[in-house]
A and B are shown apart, each in its own frame.
Chain A
Amino acid sequence: MLRIEGLHASYGKVSALENVSLNVEAGQIVCLLGANGAGKTTTLNCVSGLVAAAGGRIVFEDEDISRLRVEDIVRRGIIQVPEGREIFTAMSVEDNLMLGAWQHKNNQRNREQLAQVYDLFPRLRERHAQFAGTLSGGEQQMLMIGRALMAKPRLLMLDEPSLGLSPILVQQVFDIIKTIHKSGIAILLVEQNARVALDVSSYGYILENGEINLHGPASALAENPQVHEAYLGGAAVRH
């Protein structure tokens, strides 16, 4: 579905990505793991068109999308949920969600979609009239995911959805990710929290200093001693 082939990217003279290749098949959850500054977010931003690739190709359903504008990439159904709290703080929760459907003009269908998002996040329904800036961190994360769903994604790219959330909330968010996945949406998940990410994914890539250093089925990665050492707190080699 999504194929990244030999992607290079740089900020000025500083190289951020070197020869990154990865695949997401339809219906898969794929995770991209790595430490801070490894280039995970840059990879997503290249796919979304926010950062121009310096080399390589990004192919979505047999179409090279690496030169498309951000809004045209969104139109093809690739929606990124960015890291942090990127919401419209001074607008209501409902306005935030409805803006997610900005490219879809059919108001009737957008309303139905909104009802589905509210079913998935009852908390957002309760707070629909509140300013988004008044939501808690976990609720803001849910709002961003809900807003992305309003855009009717075919591939959802989540950037560190667990960031800054309590363990219970992380579990909730990942349950929702599984539910979204079951509805047939492919997911590319960027995480520092390797344990939860590998748990829901079927395939994983590990990015180190801008290069893919390891990849394989998630279950194999979870048992790989190198991965354990670096990303899972070294539990396997501890005696």
Chain B
Amino acid sequence: MMSDLLLQAAASGVVTGCVYALVALSLVIVYKSTDVVNFAGGELLMLGGYIGLLALVYFELSYPLMFVVVIVAMYAVGALFERIPLTTVRGQRYSKNAEADLVPLVVATIGLGYLLKGAVRVVPYTEEVRRLPPLLEGAPIFIGDVILLKQDIAIIAVTVVVMIALTGFFGWTRTGKALRATSQNPRAAALIGIPVKSMRMIAWGLAAGLAGIAGILLSPKLLMTPDMGNVVMLAFAAAIIGGFSSLVGCVVGGIILGVLQNFVGILISPQAMAVTPFVVIMLILVLRPQGLFGELAFKKV
């Protein structure tokens, strides 16, 4: 039955959409707090997956402990990348045009991407294609006619928990509010004593941590290779659908994209799936550049 097929495709689209949403959120957090488009988001995801694999298989840690290790390690990678290379690049710039100053920073993230890919390739462990054990194993679950793996349920659950935690963090904590303030107006934030440099480190740390979580969730579903970071294109598409600005936008964008991609696979052809994110990015940028949820930015006079 076609309708069953589409229902199943929608359900698994929601699952992959959750992962896209996490990576999209990682990109958006960096963009909003530092104005930098992070082209290393995919490689951070890949690194998270491999750190998880190493922790789980080589060091034989338990799954929850592995989560903690990945988040802490990725947070450190993100924060250090901001603190050392990006701060150095920022310090050397000199031009009157703030937009031009961003180019070297964006290029630095591309560099980080290659660096991480190269570093992971050097580890002999990554020569073979591997697969991360899933968080939850066991017989698939039937919801009506829809079949979901336990890992799929785990992905949705982790995404929901992460999103709730982040909403609380940004909405109610001192640090979360200071991060938002810094992203809206760094100059004003600095002038009331918010340490902008530390805020940028926290933002990068959080973003890398999120990418790491996405890596752990996605790695059991994909073959792990140092190139698996290419999925970042899907996250970019998800973020752009959502307007590159909000948590809700990322989640909705991710899910729309996940479902859409599966529908394209069934209704058009499986080959067309790979092109979907690019077509979506182009359509959104042409028809509704602010995305579904973004507002056209308050222009500073």
B181–A88 CB distance below 8 A: yes
Chain B 167-189 near chain A by CB (<8 Å), digits 1 or 0:
00000001001101100110111
- CB interface residues, B 32-76, toward A, < 8 Å: none
Q: List chain B residues, Cβ under 8 A from A48.
A: 191
* A17 at interface, CB cutoff 8 A: no
Q: Is the interface of B mostly helix, strand, loop or mixed?
A: helix
**A87, B188: Cβ atoms under 8 Å?**
yes
Given contacts A86-B187, A88-B185, A91-B181, A151 and B193 within 8 Å (CB-CB)? yes
Q: Contacting B187 at CB < 8 Å: which of A50, A71, A91, A133?
A: A50
Cβ–Cβ < 8 Å partners of A90 in chain B: 180, 184
Q: Which of B94, B184, B187, B192 contacts A100 (CB 8 A)?
A: B192
A141 within 8 A of B: no
Would you give the shortest CB distance from A113 to chain B, in whole angstroms? 13
Chain B: CB-nearest residue to A147: B192
Interface size on B, residues (CB 8 A): 22
Count of interface residues, chain A, beta-carbon cutoff 8 Å: 34
| A102-B188 contact given A91-B180, A95-B177, CB 8 Å threshold | no
Residues on the B chain within 8 Å of A100, using CB? 192
Write the nearest CB–CB distance from A101 to chain B, whole angstroms: 8
B192 near A151: Cβ-Cβ < 8 Å: yes
Q: Please give, as numbers and ranges, the residues of chain A lying within 8 Å of B178 by CB-CB distance.
A: 99, 102
- Could you tell me if A91 and B177 are in contact, using CB atoms closer than 8 angstroms? yes
Asked if residues B187 and A82 are in contact (CB atoms below 8 Å), the reply is yes
**Which of A72-80, A184-192, A206-214 forms contacts with chain B?**
A72-80
A103 at the interface (CB under 8 A from B): yes
Chain B residues closer than 8 Å to A95, beta-carbon distance: 177, 181
Q: Is the CB of B188 within 8 A of A133?
A: no
Please tell me if B298 contacts chain A, counting CB pairs below 8 Å: yes
Closest to B196 in A: A70
Q: Which of B180, B184, B192, B196 contacts A148 (CB 8 A)?
A: B192
Task: Find the A residue at minimum CB distance from B195.
Answer: A71
Contacts of A70 in B (CB 8 A): 190-191, 193, 196
Contact B190 A91 (CB under 8 A): no
Q: From the candidates A85, A91, A99, name the one contacting B194 in the complex (CB within 8 A).
A: A99
Q: Complex formed: what's the CA distance from A150 to B174 in Å?
A: 15
B188 with A74: CB separation less than 8 A? no
- Tell me how far the C-beta of B298 lies from the nearest C-beta in chain A, rounded to whole angstroms: 5
Q: B289-301: contact bitstring with A at CB < 8 Å (1 yes, 0 no)?
A: 0000000001011
- Measured between beta carbons, the chain B residues less than 8 angstroms from A103 are 192-193
Give chain A residues whose Cβ lies under 8 Å from the Cβ of B185.
86-89
A167 within 8 A of B: no
Cα A99 to Cα B191 in complex, Å, equals 11
Q: Once the chains are docked, how many angstroms separate the CA of A79 from the CA of B188?
A: 11
Closest residue of chain B to A100 (Cβ to Cβ) is: B192
Chain B, 272-301, contact with A by CB distance < 8 Å: what is the 0/1 string? Answer: 000000000000000000000000001011
A residues near B188, Cβ cutoff 8 Å: 82, 86-88, 144
Q: Mark A115-148, 1 if CB is under 8 A from B, else 0.
A: 0000000000000000001000000000010011
Closest 10 CB pairs of A and B: A74-B193, A86-B188, A103-B193, A71-B195, A88-B184, A70-B190, A88-B181, A71-B193, A80-B191, A100-B192
- Taking A82-B187, A86-B191, A88-B185 as known contacts, 6 extra A-B pairs with beta carbons closer than 8 A to each other, sorted by chain A number, are A84-B300, A84-B301, A91-B180, A99-B189, A102-B178, A103-B193
Selected A-B contacts with CB under 8 Å, 29 pairs: A11-B96, A50-B187, A50-B190, A69-B195, A70-B191, A70-B193, A71-B194, A74-B192, A81-B191, A85-B301, A86-B185, A86-B188, A87-B185, A88-B181, A88-B188, A88-B189, A89-B184, A89-B298, A90-B180, A91-B177, A98-B177, A99-B189, A102-B194, A103-B192, A133-B298, A144-B188, A147-B192, A148-B192, A151-B193
